[in-house]
Amino acid sequence: MSSSQTLSKLEALECHFTWVKETTRSQLLHRRVQLEDIGTDEGNFWLGSIYNLWGFVLYELGSSKDGHQYFKKATETLQRLRKEDEGPWLMVNYGNLAWLHHHLEEEAKSQDYLSKVEALKSKIPSPSQDELHPEIYAEKAWTLMKFGKHNQLLAADYFQRSFEMKPDMVQWQSSRVIALASAAKHCYKGLSDDLLQEIRTAREQDPENLYVAAVELKERGRKGESVKDEAETLGQKILLQPVSSYSGLKPLMRLHRQLGSLDEAIVLTEEALQKHPDERYLKRCASLCYKWKVLRFTADRADQRTIERAIKLHEEVVDLYPDSSLVKKIDLAHVQAKSSQGRTIAYQMFQDLLARRDLDSGDKQLLYYNYARYLYFECHDRNKSFRYYMKSAEIPNRNFYGEKSLKVLRKKCKKGRSRMCTEIRKFLENLPDDDSE
């Protein structure tokens, strides 16, 4: 087979190397952190998919040896969990291995895995010429939902297709509503009634999925329903589960936040930490709760012991997440700024972050937006604050933070006619259209 024929066959494969395009190193590091926090408990339905994505991320980060180990671990896990040596769920895994060996210029091994894919296709043909196996749709969806809002919506569509083919796979339906809820995470109006009904249905059909349960409670609470007792019961169930970012703890924390019961969220995360004192994900959750509580108050009204606990947790979290510490360092700086002893530290932390040269455009939007907030609320430097909102908003392909900066600037223009408003208005008039997510 010629090299062009081989490449054509590789590009036609359904696997991570053809699904995931144009990612930055920062995004890949963030994906690796996400995978580490999901955990590898043997009861995890998505364990094989976790190892598949992990192998891809590690390869893209430059570690082909580790990537290969995780792809092989995915093969073994899928066969063990499915209790079969062959099945359509191996096509993605074999496709990944074919690409890996191709990149390593091990063409004989690459061809071997291409042949395995072809053999599976012949033995287990897809439902129709225009459709994939439901297992492939599901893994494609699970992978894409980790890569931004647009991909989360696409993932929901793929999950729907897979679930329609195999309606007994309730985990696919649960993952679909999680993808849709994640895509709507920053929607201030909350989820639509139709989506909330889908979530309720998923909760009924997949009662063991506590993450879906927490999302449903959070949305019912947002709509004004009394869910406090249910939240307390769910919290105790979550404490009995293996530690994972999909345990349901974080959406439950957000429910407590919107209910104004942050103390309950803090008690819950501290109780979880007592059970698992070395789990970094739980320290991350606890640090978020303390940050929310500290930032609600001015420095004069905040309880110093609460601030000290918040600072300690954030310092630990920064050390525990070395590959994705930007947002953690920003959070630490905000908390430090609320302490009379930490204001100088906060200022220097922001200066150090602003001096970094390794930030991609998304990181810069996040940093400039948060520095603008720091300047406005802690330093009371309004003019400089709005200039950093402008720096965030002018970066092409605006993300969530770029869009938030833009909203702040537009709101400022509507409020007054100061010299700064004139400057902002001129900036907005000259700002090119942006096709951000």
The sign one gets for the Cα dihedral 391, 395, 398, 401 is negative
pLDDT bucket at 85, cuts 50 / 70 / 90:
confident
CA neighbor of 327 nearest in space, from 385, 376, 271, 288: 288
- 263-315 pLDDT, tens per residue? 999 999 999 999 999 999 999 999 999 999 999 865 456 688 999 999 999 99
Q: What burial class does residue 179 get, using C-beta atoms within 10 Å of its C-beta: 0-12 exposed, 13-18 middle, 19+ buried?
A: buried
pLDDT bucket at 141, cuts 50 / 70 / 90:
very high
- 191-238 pLDDT, tens per residue? 888 999 999 999 999 999 999 999 999 999 998 999 999 999 999 999
Q: What is the pLDDT, as a whole number, of residue 299?
A: 46
pLDDT bucket at 94, cuts 50 / 70 / 90:
very high
Q: What burial class does residue 313 get, using C-beta atoms within 10 Å of its C-beta: 0-12 exposed, 13-18 middle, 19+ buried?
A: buried
Q: Rounded distance, CA 87 to CA 138, Å?
A: 14
Boundaries of every domain in the chain: 3-125
Q: What is the pLDDT, as a whole number, of residue 21?
A: 86
Q: What are phi and psi of 248, to 5 degrees?
A: 105, 0
Which of 180-184, 296-300, 406-410 reaches the highest mean pLDDT? 406-410
Q: What is the pLDDT, as a whole number, of residue 288?
A: 97
3-125 carries CATH number 2.40.70.10: no
Mean pLDDT of the chain, nearest integer: 93
Q: What is the pLDDT, as a whole number, of residue 410?
A: 94
Span 137-153, average pLDDT: 93
Name every residue whose Cβ is closer than 8 Å to that of residue 18 and which is 6 or more positions away in sequence: 10, 11, 12, 95
Span of 14-28, 95-109, 307-321, 365-379 with lowest mean pLDDT: 14-28
pTM of the model: 0.92
- Percent with pLDDT over 90 in the chain: 83
pLDDT at residue 188 is higher than 70: no
